[in-house]
Structure 1
Amino acid sequence: MRKILIPTDFSENANNAIKFATNLFKYEVSEFFIMHAYQDDIYADENLVTKNNLDSITITVSQKSEEELDRTLKYINSISPNPKHKYFTISANNLLIDETDKIVDSENIDIIVMGTKGKTNNKKITFGSHTLQVIKYVQCPVLAIPEGHEYSQPKHILFPTNYLIPYKRRELKLLCEMASPFRAKIDMLYISKTDKLSMRQIDNQNFIKEELHKNKLNFKVLESDHILNTIYKYIKEQYVDMLVMVNTRHSFLEDMLYQSKIDELSLNIDIPFLALQNINRD
C-alpha cells in the first residue's frame, strides 16, 4: 500500500501535482491524502482580524476549505477513476509545515507530492517557499512538480550522489518501485576529480545496486568543480525527465539548500524533482 500526501492551495499548479501523482502511481494500490492547511488564510489580512471577529473569520475560512476540498475530490474522480486508489481529504487550522509533519507521522506517509509554486506566483522563483520549506524540514521524500509540467512516464532518471551517506532502504525501495513499471533507466552520477572510491563509498554503491535491482543502472563519473552547473548541463544534454537528490549532511542537495540564500537559490529545474530525506523520523 502506497501512502501519498498532497498539500493543496487549490491553485492550478496544485491540481497539476495531483494529476501527476495519480498517473505516476496508477499501477499501485494507493491512498491519497489531499490536505489544505488554512491557518495562514485566516490571518491573510491582519488589519481585518480582531479578537471579536476571529471566530467568525475562522469558521468562514474553514467552510471554504471544506468546499474547495470537495471540488478537488470531484476533480480527481473525473480525471482518475482508478479502483486501486482511495482518496481522503484533510482540512486543518494549522500551518503547512506543522500539518504536513503531523500527517507524515500519523499516517506513515511514503511520499509528499506538491507543485513548485502556488497562488503567490513569482515568475523569478522556480521553487516556491512552501516547497522548499517542506523539502528542508519535513522528514519524508518530496516529489516537486514544476509549474505547467505535463505528465509523461519517467524514462530517464538522474541521481547525482557522492556515495558518502548510508541510504535509507525504504526510500531506495520507493524509487525502485516508482521507476520499474516504466522501465526507466537511472544514471548514478558521481561528480569528482577522481573516479576512485573509498571502501565506504563502495559499500554505499553496492547497497544502491541491491536496492535498485529492478532498474537499469548506469554509473557515471564526471570531473567538475561546479556541481550545480554540471547537473543542469547533464539534464539538458542527456534528456533527463526526473531528478533525484538526497537531503542530508554532506550531500549535493544540502549544499544547494543550506549554503545558499533562499532568494539566490538557483533551483531552476523544469522537470519533476524527487528529494529523498536520509534523516530518521523522530
Structure 2
Amino acid sequence: MRKILIPTDFSENAMNAIEFAVELFKYERSDFYIMHTYQDDIYADKVLLDKESVEKVTMQASEASLKKLSSTLSKIKAFSPNPRHNYKLVSTNNLLIDEADKVVIKHNIDIIIMGTKGITNSKKRIFGTNTLQVLKYVQCPVLAIPANYKYTQPKHILFPTNYIIPYKRRELKLLCEMVSPYRAVIDMLYVSKSEKLSRRQEDNKAFIKEELCKNSINFKIVKSRNIINSIYKYIKENYIDMLVMVNTRQSFLESLLFKPTIDELSLYLDIPFLVLQNMRRNQF
C-alpha cells in the first residue's frame, strides 16, 4: 500500500498537484492523506482577532477547513473514481512543517506531493515558501508540481548525481516502482571535468543500477564546471519529464534550493521535481 501526503491550501496549484498525484499512482493501491493546516489562517486577520476571541476564530477556521476538505474530496472522486485509492482528510490547528513531519512519521508516508507554489503564486520565485520549507525540513521524498503543469506520463527522467552522496534503498525503490509502469528511461547525469570515478563512486553507481533495475538507465557524463546550466540545458535538449535530485547537508541541491541567490539562477523548473532525502527520520 502506497502512502501519499498531499498538503493543500485549496488553491488551483494545490488541486493541480492532487490531480497529478492520483493520475501518477493510478495503478497502485494507495492511501492519500489530504492535509490542511490552518494555524496561519487564525492569525492572518488581525482585525477579526481584535473583535473575536481566539477560541471563536479557531472554531471558524476549523469549520472552514473541514468544509473545504470535504469539497476537495468530492472533486477528487468526481474526476478519479479509482477503487484502488483511499482518502483520509487531515485538518489541524498547526503549522504546515510541524504537521507534515508528524503525519510522515505516524503513518510512515512514502512521498509528499504538492505544488511548487501556493495560493500567493509569486512569479519571482521557483518555489513558494511552504514548498521550500517542506523540501528543506520534512524528512520524506517530496514531489513538487509546477503551477499549471498538465499531467504527462514520466517516461524520461533526469537524475543528476556526483555518485558521492549516499542513497536510501527505500527511496530509490520508490522512484523505481513509481515510474516503472510507464517504462521510464532514467538518465543518471554526472557533471564533471573528469570522467574517472573513485571506488566509492563506482560502488554507489552499482547500487543505483541494482535498485533501479526495473527501468532502463543511461549513465551520462557532461564535461563542465557549471552544474546548474548543464542540468537546465540537458532538460531542454532531451525533453525530460521529471527531475530527480537527492537532498543532503552541504549538497549541491541544498545550495541550489536554500541560498538567497536562488532567484538569480537560470534553472527555472517547469517540470515535476522529485527530491529524495538521505537524512534519517525522527521518531516520537
* Contiguous gaps of at least 5 residues in structure 2: none
Instruction: Point out the more displaced range, 234-243 or 44-53.
Output: 44-53
Q: Alpha-carbon deviation of 1:49? A: 1.7
Q: Does 1:24 align with 2:24?
A: yes
Q: Does 1:46 align with 2:46?
A: yes
Q: Deviations over 1:86-107 (max 9, x none)?
A: 0000001000101100100000
Q: Alpha-carbon deviation of 1:268? A: 1.1
Cα 1:37–1:265, aligned 2, differ >3 Å: closer, same or farther? Answer: farther
Indicate if the aligned counterparts of 1:246 and 1:252 stay in contact, CA closer than 8 A: no
Distance in 2 separating the partners of 1:266 and 1:30: 36
Q: Alpha-carbon deviation of 1:166? A: 1.8
Distance in 1 separating the partners of 2:64 and 2:266: 35
Matches within 5 A, 1:1-282: 1-50=1-50, 53-261=53-261, 264=264, 267-282=267-282
Indicate if the aligned counterparts of 2:126 and 2:269 stay in contact, CA closer than 8 A: yes
Indicate if the aligned counterparts of 2:189 and 2:222 stay in contact, CA closer than 8 A: yes
Indicate if the aligned counterparts of 1:116 and 1:126 stay in contact, CA closer than 8 A: yes
Distance in 1 separating the partners of 2:130 and 2:233: 26
Q: Alpha-carbon deviation of 1:257? A: 2.3
Q: Deviations over 1:45-77 (max 9, x none)?
A: 234324951111111111000000000000010
Indicate if the aligned counterparts of 2:229 and 2:267 stay in contact, CA closer than 8 A: no
Distance in 1 separating the partners of 2:188 and 2:270: 20
Indicate if the aligned counterparts of 2:6 and 2:33 stay in contact, CA closer than 8 A: yes
Indicate if the aligned counterparts of 1:187 and 1:220 stay in contact, CA closer than 8 A: yes
Q: Deviations over 1:161-220 (max 9, x none)?
A: 000012000000000001100001000000000110000000000000100000000000
Indicate if the aligned counterparts of 1:31 and 1:85 stay in contact, CA closer than 8 A: yes
Q: Alpha-carbon deviation of 1:128? A: 0.7
Distance in 1 separating the partners of 2:195 and 2:250: 18
Q: Alpha-carbon deviation of 1:224? A: 1.0
Distance in 2 separating the partners of 1:18 and 1:101: 19
Indicate if the aligned counterparts of 1:141 and 1:276 stay in contact, CA closer than 8 A: yes
- Aligned length, in residue pairs: 282
Q: Alpha-carbon deviation of 1:258? A: 3.8
Distance in 2 separating the partners of 1:258 and 1:69: 31
Distance in 2 separating the partners of 1:129 and 1:258: 11
Q: Deviations over 1:133-152 (max 9, x none)?
A: 10000000000000000001
Distance in 2 separating the partners of 1:201 and 1:224: 18
Q: Alpha-carbon deviation of 1:260? A: 4.1
Q: Alpha-carbon deviation of 1:122? A: 1.2
Indicate if the aligned counterparts of 1:161 and 1:252 stay in contact, CA closer than 8 A: no
Instruction: Point out the more displaced range, 78-87 or 43-52.
Output: 43-52
Q: Alpha-carbon deviation of 1:261? A: 4.2
Q: Could you tell me which amino acid in structure 2 is paired with residue 162 of structure 1?
A: N
SS at match of 1:167: coil
TM norm structure 2: 0.96
SS at match of 2:177: helix
Distance in 2 separating the partners of 1:240 and 1:29: 27
Q: Deviations over 1:240-267 (max 9, x none)?
A: 0100000003533122124444554655
* Contiguous gaps of at least 5 residues in structure 1: none
Indicate if the aligned counterparts of 1:97 and 1:133 stay in contact, CA closer than 8 A: yes
Q: Could you tell me which amino acid in structure 2 is paired with residue 124 of structure 1?
A: K
Distance in 1 separating the partners of 2:33 and 2:170: 20
